[in-house]
């Protein structure tokens, strides 16, 4: 991702990931938090890849 996203695009990307996030239940375990983080990181990589290809 280094260099692939303009600095000001970071906020837009985070906003889009949060808007698309499934309605995760209140985390009860560390694994729940890590699963949500994993989903968010994967979705971010997808959005950045699309932006780089545009």
Residue 3 has pLDDT above 80, yes or no: no
| Local confidence band at 1 (pLDDT 50, 70, 90 cut-offs) | very low
| Structure tokens belonging to residue 34 | 């890590």
Alpha carbon separation from 50 to 7, 9, 42, 43 (Å, rounded):
16, 13, 13, 11
> Which pLDDT does position 54 carry in this prediction?
64
pLDDT in tens, 9-21: 999 999 999 999 9
46: Cα separation from own chain's centroid: 8
> Which pLDDT does position 8 carry in this prediction?
87
Residue 7 has pLDDT above 90, yes or no: no
pTM for the model stands at: 0.81
List of residues 6+ apart from 17 with CB closer than 8 A: 40, 43, 44, 47
């Amino acid at each position: 991702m280094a260099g692939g996203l303009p600095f000001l695009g970071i906020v837009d990307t985070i906003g889009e990931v949060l808007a698309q996030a499934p309605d995760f239940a209140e985390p009860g375990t560390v694994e729940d938090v890590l699963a949500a983080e994993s989903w968010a990181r994967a979705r971010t990589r997808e959005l950045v890849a699309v932006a780089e290809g545009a």
